[in-house]
Chain A
Amino acid sequence: MIAKFDYHVPATLKEACEMKQEYGSSGVIVAGGSDVYAKLHDGNHRYDHVIDIKKIPEMKGIEWSEQEGLSLGAAVTHHEIERHPVITERYQVLVQGVRTVGSLQVRNRGTIGGNICTAAPSADGVGPLLVLNSECVIHGIGGERIVPLAEFFTGPKRTVLRSDEVLVRVRMKNPASRYGGAYFKYGRRNAMEIALLNISVYLEVDDDNKTCTEMRIALGTSAPTPIRVHKTEQYFIGKDLTDNEAVAKGGDLVIEEASPRSSWRANSNFRLTLLRQLVPRTVKTAYKSLIEE
């Protein structure tokens, strides 16, 4: 049984921000509830106020246009994303990530905004959004501000959101018409798994079909927050992606930028060993997806 709380359903962003401000740490913002209600079931956590933001119009729906790109409401579910025709066609790397979240049942409730705001280092939806250069639309009592997703996380389960602020949407420009994308999740089993490690890659190549012109790599559970590894990305620019040795060297570089911790699930050295092997492999998968399309 979940401990008693007061349940609030704000109809507007203004109301939601005011409630969040008023209730502070005794309140919690909930969308799909797949993290929050699971946590409340364990008996060790409780909140006096649950603020359910699912009815707020600005937080709903998937919008897409050729000019503006993609905009996901914070309350959009993972399953809505994985079934959306434009996203499945043009944002494959995002689909690859979100479809590994929990289970179908969890993806039908859990939202992309929740995946971001829970701020777990392992979030499956976040890496793909990072390599798509997403930005967050944040609303507070004073108005709106835009923060790049790469600057959104400040620590494990910590974000830049202020006491009166909520995430409204996450948006990104269209990827290049030709790009390679791949999401790799390392876990001990296929189903219902939290990533021991995850890697997202977005890359573009020159007209010769092998010289890398753009490389974006995001890592999950490899640092206190999901991160981009800019030095490794920079290394790849100008490299021939069919050159196995050159690609493998990216794995040696990436471990300089990662700082995974040891946890009961895996120790730090194991995670570094995985990164050295799996980053080059994921780059190759992304490259292959571009060449074979």
Chain B
Amino acid sequence: MYKKEISLTINNESYVREVAVNRTLLEFLREDLGLTGAKEGCNEGECGACTVLVDGKPVNSCLMLAVEADGSTILTIEGLADGDKLHPLQQAFIDEGAVQCGFCTPGMIMTGKAIIDEYGNPSEQEIRKLMEGNLCRCTGYTRVIKTVKKTADSMVENSDKK
């Protein structure tokens, strides 16, 4: 069987598609669906530029087959904003200047979001450890880590108020 029909939810939309079994999830998203937010960097699981959330968990979409995503719920950077309203982490990346060339940013933000979802308000040290799979080749990590931490702090604060 070289092709297989898969059905999955991506950014709140349902898709039923036939895909070649050797197609990676990243190729499927970018080339078949035109969702080019996730990037191909190393294509071997080192750089994290292709990070998307599968059932809430950050994964390297270059190391996963599209057929393996059958039945799952996927979130990419394109689905993170609520209409015109950016996710707090997206807004914070802009406000804090945590972006330089931007190539690693979609992966950084998706991992950051997943960490906040799973760990609530992790320490800066924990964030450093958990984001080790997202490489930036421009400038470094200080602003990225601080931005994730700041966003986690304010999201916890806001949820306490509610």
Contact of A3 among B22, B43, B48, B58 (CB under 8 A): B22
Instruction: Give the segment of A101-109, A125-133, A255-263, A268-276 that binds chain B.
Output: A101-109
A42 to B63, CA, bound (A): 12
Most buried by B among A3, A38, A103: A103
**CB-nearest residue of chain B relative to A4?**
B22
Main secondary structure of the interface of B (DSSP, over half): mixed
Q: How many residues of A contact B (CB 8 A)?
A: 28
Provide the residues of chain B in CB contact with A1, threshold 8 Å.
22, 27
Most buried by B among A3, A7, A99, A105: A105
Q: How many residues of B contact A (CB 8 A)?
A: 34
Residue pair A33, B64 in contact (C-beta under 8 Å): yes
Given contacts A105-B133, A108-B57, contact A7 B1 (CB under 8 A): yes
Residue pair A104, B2 in contact (C-beta under 8 Å): no
Contact of B48 among A99, A105, A190 (CB under 8 A): A105
Residue pair B2, A108 in contact (C-beta under 8 Å): no
A-B contact pairs, 8 of them (CB 8 A): A2-B24, A33-B65, A38-B45, A104-B58, A105-B51, A105-B58, A191-B133, A192-B46
**Which B residues are within 8 Å of any A CB, using their own CB?**
1-2, 4, 20-22, 24, 27, 43-46, 48, 51, 57-60, 62-65, 67-68, 111, 114-115, 129-135
**Which A residues are within 8 Å of any B CB, using their own CB?**
1-7, 33-34, 37-38, 41-42, 50, 52, 54, 79, 99, 102-106, 108-109, 190-192
